[in-house]
Amino acid sequence: MTINLNKGQGISLKKAAPSLTAAFIGLGWDVKQGSGGDFDLDASIFMLGANGKLISDQHFIFYNNLTSPDPEQSVKLMGDNRTGAGDGDDEVIIIDFRKIPSNVAKLVIIISIYDAETRRQNFGQVQNAYVRLVNVETKGEVLRYSLQEHFSTETALVMAEVVNEAGEWRLNAVGDGYQGGLQTLLDRYQ
C-alpha cells in the first residue's frame, strides 16, 4: 500500500518498507496544454556531505553524469527523457542504500526545466508533477508525493530529500521552487 506524503512530511524508509535495500525513484510530470514549445525537464541528484554541501562535482548526478563516483555506483540516473511524453515516470533514479558511502548524508532530488529562461518556461506551465519511491525487489510503490503548489515563475524544484539520520534513511517531501534554474541550486549546495 502506497503512503502519500504532503509537502513537509517525511517518513523513515525502515518504517515504510522494513525490507527495503534498493529503491527506484520515479519522477513524472505533464506539460499543460497550450503552453507551447518543447519542454525538457531534467531530474538531478545532489549527494551532500554532513555539511550540507556537494561532496565533489562528481557527486552532482545529472544528464551528463549519470552515476555516482563511488566504485559501487550506488546512485544512477537512468537517462534523460527530453520530451516527457507518455504516461508514467518520465525520469528514473536507482538508489542502492547498501552501497551509499558513509560520507553521504543526504540526497537531494531535483527537477529543473532545461533552458527555461531562453524558452520563457516555468513550472506554472507544468502539472501533475510527482516523485515516487518503489521497492526494487518487490516492485511495490512505497511512497508518493504529488506536488500541489503552483509555481508561476520558478524553473527548478527540490522535490524530495533522502536523508541519513543516525544510520537510518528517511524520505522528506520538500516541494520548494526556485528561480534561476538548476544553476541557482548548484550555487546553493556548492
32/35 Cα distance (integer angstroms):
6
User: What is the model's pTM?
Assistant: 0.92
Average pLDDT over residues 15-19: 93
Q: Are 36 and 52 in contact (CB under 8 A)?
A: no
Q: How far apart are CA 95 and CA 122, in angstroms?
A: 28
- The ranges assigned to domains in the chain are 3-107+123-189
Locus of grid cell 525520469: 91
pLDDT over 80 (residue 161): yes
Give the pLDDT confidence of 78-129 residue by residue, as tens digits: 975 554 455 678 899 999 999 999 999 999 999 999 999 888 999 999 988 8
Please give the CATH number for the structural domain made up of 3-107+123-189.
2.60.60.30
The predicted structure's pLDDT at residue 183: 93
Around Cβ 162, how many Cβ atoms within 10 Å? 25
pLDDT at 26 over 90: yes
pLDDT in tens, 38-62: 788 899 999 999 999 999 999 999 9
Q: Residue ranges of the alpha helices (H) in 63-168?
A: 116-119
* Residue 148 CA from chain centroid, whole number: 16
Mean pLDDT for the chain overall: 91
